[in-house]
Structure 1
Amino acid sequence: MPSPMLDPPCPGWKRDLPGPTDPPKALGGPEQPPNYLDGIYLELSRRSSSVRGTFVVTVPLCAYAFIWQLTIAIRYDWFSSGDMTDRLIALFVIALCSAGYFYLAAFLYHIDVSTPRDLPIRFNRVRRRIYVYGFHQVWWNPFGGRYATTASHDWNDVRAEVWEQWGPTAGGGLIIKWGVSIAIVKPGTNEVLERFHLSTYNQDLDNLWAYVCTYMQLGPDALPPCDIEPRDANDVPAYNLALRWAPLVEWPEAMDIESRSAP
């Protein structure tokens, strides 16, 4: 049984993928087209969820539940019937439920809309660097602590791992989640300094990393043809309100120029 190469391995580690200078394996076409591809850089999409947009439509349901609860309270005279203790209890229950509806609505809206439209990653084969567009958030706090992040790393310090995890479903069952994790190691060691996802729910994990390595080592001419047209990171479907309302991908000007150009 092989053991993890990196210290520490990613959560749910299954196996290590070839290093950035190892000969790339045979590969097929990508499951989704890159955002951009030429002889200088490759940009891949890292959209946070394929079902993004489902939570935002539940926000009106929270508002409906609040109005329904208030209507029932008024209809049955909860605020004036009974003694003072009963009225205070009714008022406390209404206030507590109302606060719960408000928080749930804000939380669901926050999940769907606060994350940028895409979290792209650029591989500049001329500079031999990668550029990562990330996002920081406190998942339980819908009112703050959210901001975009950008970082640049040397290609030689990049490592890749396949992970697999079990997670709960809304129906009480379990679902397998899998993907490719990218680690940035301390030069000359296997000590992990930073880690982020390259892809989740990709069906051919080895192929995705082989695609990147082939590009970085051999260039775009060595990649299999893709019949699907590339799309801009900010190009989202008109019907998906969550993505339409989400923040645009905006690289810092200096990094944007550097990541798209040769030295």
Structure 2
Amino acid sequence: MAYTAPLLNKPAEGWKHDLPGPNQPPTRTPNTRLLPNPPNYVDDIYLELPRSTLAIRSVGIWAAVIFFLTSTVAPVLLIDFTVTEGHLPPFVLNFFGLVLLSTFLWIGVYLWRMDTEAPRDEPIRFNRLRRKVYVYRFFHDGAKPFSRTAWGVRPVAYDWDDLHAEACSLYGPMGTGGFIETVTLAVLKPGTHEVIDRFLFTHEIHRGEMYWAMAQLFMQQGPHALPTFPYVPRDWNNEDVSFNLARRLAPKVVWPAEMDLESRTAP
């Protein structure tokens, strides 16, 4: 389905096109050979798909170490200046030294927390009998890297009919430059195109379109409409992560008991 303009009053940043609505026919056929992971679980009641805020784990944690080490350069140079010259550095040098120290620490803490505090999986459950969607959401705030309340997992539930999927493409400041593609899910005010919340569904547009099509097929027709995967689901909580420090430190998925029961059962 092609749209020449966004359907929502506030389209996602980097909007490229809208995907079919929750109750519209899917426009893409899921290809199991192109999808990295099968559903975590599926039965007649609910479908659970894997999801992750981070496309790659463990890069951030080592980048954080580099920033932490780099942050020590300014204090060392200022101390060396004091010892060599026999007096304190001028105000300008102290000021820029403090700015550099704070900046590198700020970025280092943010990268470290992103890589080690994001859970091993951030699954999303589609309950076709309740017509609800349950999201294991990891919240973080780059402006508050030292905050306890701004970071953490807070699972939330939405109505299936209030979701809308958008494909996005943004230029990312990567090493060689490039585009970052995502599919996001917007939560709409019932009966309107007004966005009240938005969160990441998948990285890569083609992958997101196929996972969204799987959710549509399940919610509209049931588990029999889903493709059969040639391999078994990953056990995100108990897989071997010996050589990935970030995943070793990452918390396991633990749904709140009440939401866990509700999301897996019929009304």
Rounded to whole Å, the distance in 2 between the matches of 1:130 and 1:179 is 19
Aligned to 2:161, what secondary structure does the other structure show? helix
Q: Is the 8 A contact 2:78 2:94 kept in 1?
A: no
- Matched positions, count: 259
Q: Which runs of 5+ in 1 are unaligned?
A: none
The corresponding residue for 1:169 is: 174
Residues 64-98 of structure 1 show CA distances to partners (whole Å, capped at 9, x for unaligned) of: 55677777888xx6443334245998887776665
Aligned to 1:80, what secondary structure does the other structure show? helix
Q: Is the 8 A contact 1:130 1:153 kept in 2?
A: yes
Residue 8 of structure 2, aligned match among 6, 9, 25: 6
Q: Is 2:162 the partner of 1:157?
A: yes
Residue 253 of structure 1, aligned match among 227, 245, 257: 257
1:68-147 paired onto structure 2 within 5 Å: 78-86=81-89, 102-144=105-147, 145-147=150-152
Q: Which runs of 5+ in 2 are unaligned?
A: none
The corresponding residue for 1:210 is: 213
Measured after TM superposition, the shift of residue 61 of structure 1 is 3.8
Measured after TM superposition, the shift of residue 229 of structure 1 is 0.9
Rounded to whole Å, the distance in 1 between the matches of 2:211 and 2:161 is 18
TM-score, scaled to structure 2? 0.83
Measured after TM superposition, the shift of residue 109 of structure 1 is 1.2
Q: Is the 8 A contact 1:159 1:185 kept in 2?
A: yes
Aligned to 2:136, what secondary structure does the other structure show? strand
The letter of the residue matching 1:261 is T
Residues 33-92 of structure 1 show CA distances to partners (whole Å, capped at 9, x for unaligned) of: 111112111111111223220121244445655677777888xx6443334245998887
Q: Is the 8 A contact 2:201 2:208 kept in 1?
A: no
Residues 96-133 of structure 1 show CA distances to partners (whole Å, capped at 9, x for unaligned) of: 66555544432331231122222211001121110111
Q: Is the 8 A contact 2:183 2:203 kept in 1?
A: yes
| Greater Cα shift, 179-188 or 77-86 | 77-86
Q: Is the 8 A contact 2:10 2:194 kept in 1?
A: yes
Higher Rg of the two aligned structures = 1
Q: Is the 8 A contact 1:29 1:226 kept in 2?
A: no
Structure 1 26/141 Cα, relative in aligned 2: closer, same or farther at 3 Å?
closer
Q: Is 2:244 the partner of 1:240?
A: yes
| Greater Cα shift, 239-248 or 250-259 | 239-248
Structure 1 93/177 Cα, relative in aligned 2: closer, same or farther at 3 Å?
closer
Structure 1 205/110 Cα, relative in aligned 2: closer, same or farther at 3 Å?
closer
The corresponding residue for 2:230 is: 227
The corresponding residue for 1:190 is: 193
TM-score, scaled to structure 1? 0.84
Structure 1 14/87 Cα, relative in aligned 2: closer, same or farther at 3 Å?
closer
Rounded to whole Å, the distance in 1 between the matches of 2:120 and 2:167 is 25
The letter of the residue matching 1:162 is A
Structure 1 259/73 Cα, relative in aligned 2: closer, same or farther at 3 Å?
same
Rounded to whole Å, the distance in 1 between the matches of 2:69 and 2:7 is 52
Rounded to whole Å, the distance in 1 between the matches of 2:146 and 2:227 is 45
RMSD: 2.8
Rounded to whole Å, the distance in 1 between the matches of 2:92 and 2:182 is 49
The corresponding residue for 1:49 is: 54
Structure 1 36/202 Cα, relative in aligned 2: closer, same or farther at 3 Å?
farther
Structure 1 52/190 Cα, relative in aligned 2: closer, same or farther at 3 Å?
same
The letter of the residue matching 2:225 is A
Structure 1 20/61 Cα, relative in aligned 2: closer, same or farther at 3 Å?
closer
Rounded to whole Å, the distance in 2 between the matches of 1:165 and 1:137 is 20
